[in-house]
């Protein structure tokens, strides 16, 4: 028994001793093969980097000396540089989701409580070349029921999600004389609020001024926008925007026909009052068809935005005041209907992530100045991070037709991906 055990032990030890040189020889072969492979891959990646540098040089409009061989670097460094160059050429993609909930005591609505995902927005943004940039925004959303709607308004579809190209445009980057051209489908430069997407609002719902005059999605049209940074001897920023679009809209004040276009002119003035306070003052003039034969609607608007954000406590304290007002002239066969609307909003930051706000709405209608709507809102906002916010809005509504009502609105906005910063 002991002899068998001793024989087995000697056999195992001999196998290990004999296998060691073979393993060492195989390891040397593997090391040599890996070294040759790394060398070949390094040469291939060097050629790839050389070709990519040549292409990027042509893309940037500069000549690249292809006779100079780039210095040899390790594979991770080359791969990293290629990845970074590729990320410049690839579009920035983000997805923005909006969870919406509402509850109201208005007996005229079809659903007193409505909760669910209201919209998902996909954005694709990239530089086409050093001279142009492209932006695309595609949204999948469902309609929200409007408790202010009159008895003749069409009922909203609260369950179906529909796809829509919200914006898709090309922007120039290097025109002379401080000019910039935007072409495609885009949000019009009307006032301060219209150029923002709804998820960037500091309140849950659209102001009644926008709903009753420009529609539930604001002013969006296809055409051309020319922007000029106005030179001036004063210490202020001035921006003049001229837009010529199709006018093929379905809003209350503007409805397209086959002959007339929509023209918009906006002047933005931006002042630094002091190190902590800025003032933005804008003026808008607009003219377009209203759908009644060749009759037109003319509209003038003013927007004021005052922001205070102290340098030392800017993460914990801030204040914002926003005011927009418009006057409209709506042509009909019986004459011109003159009407007006406005909203005022203020918000104060009480802590690093907490904001308190209030908004007042007053709105007539483009084709009816005898009736008006009013709304009073209080808003509580909580920012969990730069990628998510929660907002609670309590509103008292006084519609033009029907009884006054109260409602509660809840919104949660969350972002994944590389979503860029919004306009200041």
Give me the mean pLDDT over the 85-109 stretch: 82
Between the CA of residue 297 and those of 265, 279, 318, 327, 338, what are the distances in Å? 15, 30, 38, 11, 10
Share of residues in the chain with pLDDT > 70 (%): 75
pLDDT of residue 50: 53
pLDDT of residue 147: 86
In the chain, what is the straight-line distance between the N-terminal and C-terminal CA atoms, in Å?
A: 89
Most confident range, picked from 29-38, 158-167, 359-368? 359-368
143 vs 153: which has the higher pLDDT: 143
pLDDT digits (tens, 9 = 90+) for 381-422: 999 998 999 999 999 999 998 889 999 999 999 999 876 666
56 vs 333: which has the higher pLDDT: 333
- Nearest 10 degrees: Cα torsion 14, 20, 22, 23: 140
pLDDT of residue 418: 78
Give me the mean pLDDT over the 183-197 stretch: 95
CATH placement of domain 95-417 = 2.40.160.10
Burial of 299 (0-12, 13-18, 19+ CB in 10 A): buried
3-state secondary structure of 142: coil
pTM of the model: 0.77
37 vs 357: which has the higher pLDDT: 357
**Which residues, listed in sequence order, are joined to residue 329 by a DSSP beta bridge?**
298, 338
pLDDT of residue 110: 73
Where are the domains positioned within the chain? Answer: 2-66+75-82, 95-417
User: Mean pLDDT over all residues of the chain?
Assistant: 81
pLDDT of residue 156: 57
pLDDT of residue 154: 57
The Cα 371–Cα 363 span in angstroms is 9
The Cα 308–Cα 257 span in angstroms is 44
């Amino acid at each position: 028994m002991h002899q068998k055990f001793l024989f087995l032990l000697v056999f195992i030890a001999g196998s290990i001793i004999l296998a060691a040189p073979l393993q060492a020889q195989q390891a040397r072969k593997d090391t040599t093969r890996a070294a040759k492979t790394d060398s070949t891959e390094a040469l291939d990646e060097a050629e790839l980097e050389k070709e990519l540098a040549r292409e990027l040089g042509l893309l940037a409009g500069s000549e690249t000396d292809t006779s100079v061989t780039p210095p040899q670097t390790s594979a991770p460094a080359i791969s990293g540089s290629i990845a970074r160059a590729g990320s410049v050429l690839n579009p920035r993609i983000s997805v923005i989701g909006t969870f919406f909930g509402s509850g109201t005591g208005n007996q005229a609505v079809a659903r007193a409580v409505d909760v669910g995902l209201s919209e998902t927005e996909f954005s694709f943004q990239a530089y086409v070349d050093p001279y142009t940039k492209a932006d695309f925004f595609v949204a999948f959303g469902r309609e929200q029921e409007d408790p202010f709607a009159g008895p003749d308004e069409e009922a909203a579809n609260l369950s179906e999600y529909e796809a829509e190209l919200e914006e898709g445009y090309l922007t120039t980057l290097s025109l002379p004389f401080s000019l910039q051209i935007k072409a495609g489908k885009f949000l019009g430069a009307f006032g301060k609020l219209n150029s923002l997407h709804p998820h960037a609002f500091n309140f849950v719902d659209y102001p009644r001024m926008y709903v009753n005059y420009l529609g539930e999605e604001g002013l969006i049209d296809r055409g051309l926008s020319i922007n000029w940074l106005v030179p001036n001897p004063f210490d202020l920023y001035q921006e003049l925007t001229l837009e010529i679009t199709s006018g093929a809209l379905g809003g209350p004040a503007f409805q397209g026909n086959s002959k007339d276009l929509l023209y918009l002119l906006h002047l933005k003035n931006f002042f630094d009052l002091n190190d902590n306070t800025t003032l933005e003052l804008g003026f808008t003039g607009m003219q377009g068809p209203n759908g009644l034969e060749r009759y037109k609607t003319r509209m003038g608007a003013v927007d004021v935005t005052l922001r205070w954000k102290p340098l030392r406590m800017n993460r914990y304290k801030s204040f914002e005041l926003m005011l927009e007002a418009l006057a409209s002239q709506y042509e009909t066969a019986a004459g011109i209907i003159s009407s007006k609307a406005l909203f005022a909003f203020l918000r104060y930051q009480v802590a690093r992530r907490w904001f308190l706000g209030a908004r007042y709405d007053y709105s007539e209608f483009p084709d009816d100045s005898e009736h008006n709507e009013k709304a009073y809102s209080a808003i509580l906002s909580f920012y969990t991070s730069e990628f998510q916010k929660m907002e609670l809005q309590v509103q008292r509504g006084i519609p033009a037709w029907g009884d006054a009502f109260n409602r509660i609105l809840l919104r949660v906005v969350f972002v994944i991906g590389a979503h860029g910063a919004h306009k200041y």
